[in-house]
Structure 1
Amino acid sequence: MGTHVIKMPDIGEGIAEVELSQWHVKVGDLVVEDQVLADVMTDKAMVDIPSPVHGKVIALGGQPGEVMAVGSVLISIEVEGAGNLKESAAPAPVKEAPIAPKTEATVESKPVAAAAPRPAAVCQGPMVAREADERPLASPAVRKHALDLGIQLRLVRGTGPAGRVLHEDLEAYLAQGQSNASAPAAAAYAQRHDEEQIPVIGMRRKIAQRMQDATQRAAHFSYVEEIDVTAIEELRAHLNEKHGASRGKLTLLPFLVRALVVALRDFPQMNARYDDEAQVITRLGAVHVGVATQSDVGLMVPVVRHAEARSLWDSAAEISRLANAARNGKASRDELSGSTITLTSLGALGGIVSTPVLNLPEVAIVGVNKIVERPMVVKGQVVIRKMMNLSSSFDHRVVDGMDAALFIQAIRGLLEQPATLFVE
């Protein structure tokens, strides 16, 4: 028997150290080639580390949350034969799950839906005995799913590798729980005294660091304006009725992207990045719009590149493609970097007002609130109009308040008179 040692790989981009986010194996586990051993977190992405060999895990090189240098020992595997006498670096990562850039809202194409709470006491499906403080193996998506369903993960038997809890295990637990519906209804109101400590590591740590960095370094100020979107919504409905079957349905986002592009022609200082260390502002001609997107693995901002050269349907298709890639953990680093201005929306849950956090080093972020019908006075008459607020934030070190107000007013004018979006 021999030992195959895998070192923390060099993921590129000059990264000298990465954070060990999660182990998918433990000492004593048998692993096969290409099986995912661990997740590591860089500044931009979650990267899976696969096994290059078959064998048995004999040692782990760190604990989740630990920052490890590139080249340090990640894991040791016992293999048949002499093994790899020279410690080898891990093979190229096979999958990237992108990290949430520093923003705080979601893309309109996937509003966050609140799951109906289910009392954990009612769900008495296939169970496994674990200590109260034992943390079962499960992906972040499965943990969130369990939280939404009111299930305590430590009670669920995992059928994945090393007892990993899968989505299917949650469904089996719930299905079994339905057959035990005779449990007293009063159990749902029983007192609870349990606690759960959740380490802030991996993606959540990166989000926390970036949000804190953004709020500490930039001088945020927000500006909110009310917009009558009745006309733009009528145009959108007309275009969807006429061309939806052949070109795809349009949401409001492509129109907002178009409004940004047109307004930025007169306000180039908003389409900029500020290097506060070098004290240099870079204004860009290309408009690369970041669209904040919520996914099971965290918050991220895929980038619609060269929005200035895209039609409505081209923008819509790219937004949809990027949102799906982000939600499925398949967006590349290039698709998650390089934005010049960010658009953030909570969709139907957009509320009345929000205060979005800048996506540094950008200097502007435009936030979209929900559309509501309200009585408005138009030419002396009370009429029902579709109204929406834009809640936007700016870096006051670079953007003056008057310029920010004029910029949002320009967007308002374009959306309220949608023909102007296409007049050159």
Structure 2
Amino acid sequence: MVREFKLPDVGEGVAEGELLEWHVEPGDTVAEDQVVADVETDKAVVDVPSPVNGTVRELLAEPGDVVPVGTVIITFDVEGEAPPESERDATTDAETGAVAEGDGDAEAAAESSGNGQGGRVFAAPSARRLARELGVEIAAVDGSGPGGRVTESDVRAAAESQPDESDDGKQLKSAVSRIDDGEDGSGKSSVSDGLSSAVSRVDDGESGGSDAAGGAVAAGAVEAAGRERTLAAPATRQVAEDLGVDIDDVPTDEVRDGQAFVDEAAVREYADAQQRAQEADAEALADASEAGEAGPPTTTAESGAGPDAVEAAEGDRREPYRGVRKTIGRAMERSKFTAPHVTHHEKVDATALVETREKLKARADDRGVKLTFVPFVMKAVAAALDEHPVLNTQLDEDNEEIVFKSDRNFGVAVATDAGLMVPVVDGVDGKGLLQLASETNELVAKCRERSIAREEMQGGTFTITNFGAIGGEYATPIINYPETAILGLGAIEERPVAEDGEVVARDVLPLSLSVDHRVIDGADAARFVETLKEYIEDPTLLLLE
């Protein structure tokens, strides 16, 4: 019996993952729960375990492939296992390859028939939707993706290879509007209501003809659904909000409890279609306005040279911008362009802190714990927040409320090969230095090994970033949205300080505090730092907390 294994949903809101490495090869014997692959999502690197005891039959994806959740990535030979119901619903004639339909609909039968070669058709939901829009029979499309998977490009290629429809009033099944330059003489398309106008074809009014500008054909746009109600997970709604998409406009075939249901993949696909359509429409307009230019325009998607494209010279190197790195970029962009940042800089005499750490370092080593300055600062921040709680807040823009968080859950920014990651240490105010040091060290190690769980990077109320460990004095840290403050620690260095009319050498710690100016005034930030200084300059005060 052959068992197919699909890429599982490895976390809420995760729609796809990049296959990093296979740990098995065809012919290998595997046990249930044995790790067979490493997959990187936009959150972290996760292990993919085998669901069965069996033998690896076929690997259907290559390292580096970005695979949607639900895609079959590997098959196993399993002895003594009954076929799944989905396979019992259809029987295949051994000689003709004909499929007898069970209770499934026509599309299910087409899926079972294979790409004209027998076997099941593997295709993403987006490719199936596109096939329906373009009137393409999915079973007849040759897939170019991993394991013969049918992609959207395959569907479009199949649609283009079909005979042109006649001019006897047949409508195009895709959402493409046709503009005749012979109607108004301008040679320019006008933008009609909704997305259906975003992609247009400029014609001379004759079937198969072209205008003076050579005609312009852009990729098909997706019509807005325009529903009154849509079911979706909170994370999906957040993605729609981030991308500027009305979730009621996202097309979907999925229904739950009698209502249309939309997942994150559909939202992102619709947003991408919007962007492509807008770019294509703008290009078509520009092309039509240039008299005498022949030939169809090259779209951004075709040339890879959009208005913001970067030209690479000989010797330059490119690498994909995706996965964790892309997620970090989106988070930074959202924070910087949502929260007006103000950064307060200050210097702290950390001589007593350095001495205290040196006294306790040997005892910590005896207990197997590496004691850095960060746990001391975490305790000092927790104490200072008790006096200045406005820095431990989040802004609920939907309800127009400032939420004062009761927890003291601190994110600790960690530099990794994939970019900056922020694991969260919970309940800082209720833990001792050694426990904080141990938990922080463990989370940092998980980040650098790429094994940290998504939930270990959630729930933060305040963030600390120690850029001084690498080098540097001051910075302007970007707030870990939706928090409202982040503290940056510079390098502790011995510096000349004026004391009682004399210049003496003291250990100085530079601080950089960025705050969301919508919630926190500059005076609030300054007062918080002054309180924080008291605890850093005299760590024995922390014994009172």
Q: What's the TM-score, normalizing by structure 1?
A: 0.66
Deviations 1:8-65 (A, max 9, x none): 323354x3x52221253599955543352351415x4332323434223264499734
Counterparts of residues 25-174 of structure 1 (less than 5 Å):
25=22, 29-30=26-27, 32-33=29-30, 34-37=34-37, 39-42=39-42, 44-52=43-51, 53-57=54-58, 59-60=60-61, 64-65=65-66, 68=68, 70=69, 72-77=70-75, 79=77, 85-86=83-84
- Structure 1 residue 5 displacement after superposition: 2.3
> Kindly tell me: are residues 60 and 250 of structure 1, through their superposed partners in 2, closer, same or farther at Cα, counting changes over 3 Å?
closer
- Structure 1 residue 302 displacement after superposition: 1.9
Deviations 1:151-192 (A, max 9, x none): xxxxxxxxxxxxxxxxxxxxxxxxxxxxxxxxxxxxxxxxx9
State the alpha-carbon separation in 2 of the partners of residues 280 and 395 from structure 1: 14
> Kindly tell me: are residues 76 and 322 of structure 1, through their superposed partners in 2, closer, same or farther at Cα, counting changes over 3 Å?
closer
State the alpha-carbon separation in 1 of the partners of residues 479 and 63 from structure 2: 34
Paired letter, 2:44:
A
> Kindly tell me: are residues 208 and 313 of structure 1, through their superposed partners in 2, closer, same or farther at Cα, counting changes over 3 Å?
same
Paired letter, 1:56:
R
Pick from 320, 323, 332: which aligns with 2:444?
A: 323
> Kindly tell me: are residues 46 and 27 of structure 1, through their superposed partners in 2, closer, same or farther at Cα, counting changes over 3 Å?
closer
State the alpha-carbon separation in 1 of the partners of residues 37 and 22 from structure 2: 6
Unaligned runs of 5+ in 1: 89-191
> Kindly tell me: are residues 32 and 405 of structure 1, through their superposed partners in 2, closer, same or farther at Cα, counting changes over 3 Å?
farther
Aligned twin of 1:11? 10
State the alpha-carbon separation in 1 of the partners of residues 413 and 449 from structure 2: 15
Equivalent pair of 2:341/2:515 in contact (CA under 8 Å): yes
Equivalent pair of 1:20/1:63 in contact (CA under 8 Å): no
Paired letter, 1:54:
T
Percentage of matched positions with identical amino acids = 32
- Structure 1 residue 333 displacement after superposition: 3.0
Equivalent pair of 2:35/2:47 in contact (CA under 8 Å): no
State the alpha-carbon separation in 2 of the partners of residues 235 and 27 from structure 1: 51
The answer to whether 1:277 aligns with 2:398 is: yes
Paired letter, 1:5:
E
State the alpha-carbon separation in 1 of the partners of residues 353 and 379 from structure 2: 12
- Structure 1 residue 196 displacement after superposition: 2.7
Equivalent pair of 2:44/2:451 in contact (CA under 8 Å): no
The answer to whether 1:202 aligns with 2:318 is: no
Secondary structure at 1:362 match in 2: coil
Query: How many residues are matched?
Result: 314
Deviations 1:186-239 (A, max 9, x none): xxxxxx953432111211121122221221222112111111111211122223
Aligned twin of 2:533? 412
Equivalent pair of 1:40/1:49 in contact (CA under 8 Å): no
Q: What's the TM-score, normalizing by structure 2?
A: 0.52
> Kindly tell me: are residues 12 and 323 of structure 1, through their superposed partners in 2, closer, same or farther at Cα, counting changes over 3 Å?
closer
- Structure 1 residue 295 displacement after superposition: 3.4
Pick which of 32-41 and 316-325 moved more.
32-41
> Kindly tell me: are residues 242 and 61 of structure 1, through their superposed partners in 2, closer, same or farther at Cα, counting changes over 3 Å?
closer
Equivalent pair of 1:62/1:74 in contact (CA under 8 Å): no
Deviations 1:117-167 (A, max 9, x none): xxxxxxxxxxxxxxxxxxxxxxxxxxxxxxxxxxxxxxxxxxxxxxxxxxx
State the alpha-carbon separation in 2 of the partners of residues 27 and 335 from structure 1: 29
Paired letter, 1:358:
I
> Kindly tell me: are residues 28 and 415 of structure 1, through their superposed partners in 2, closer, same or farther at Cα, counting changes over 3 Å?
closer
Aligned twin of 2:17? 20
Aligned twin of 1:99? none
Q: Which structure has more RCO (C-alpha within 8 Å, separation ≥ 6)?
A: 1
Aligned twin of 1:92? none
Pick which of 324-333 and 278-287 moved more.
324-333
Equivalent pair of 1:214/1:357 in contact (CA under 8 Å): yes
State the alpha-carbon separation in 2 of the partners of residues 210 and 255 from structure 1: 28
Paired letter, 1:18:
A
Equivalent pair of 1:61/1:74 in contact (CA under 8 Å): no
Unaligned runs of 5+ in 2: 88-312
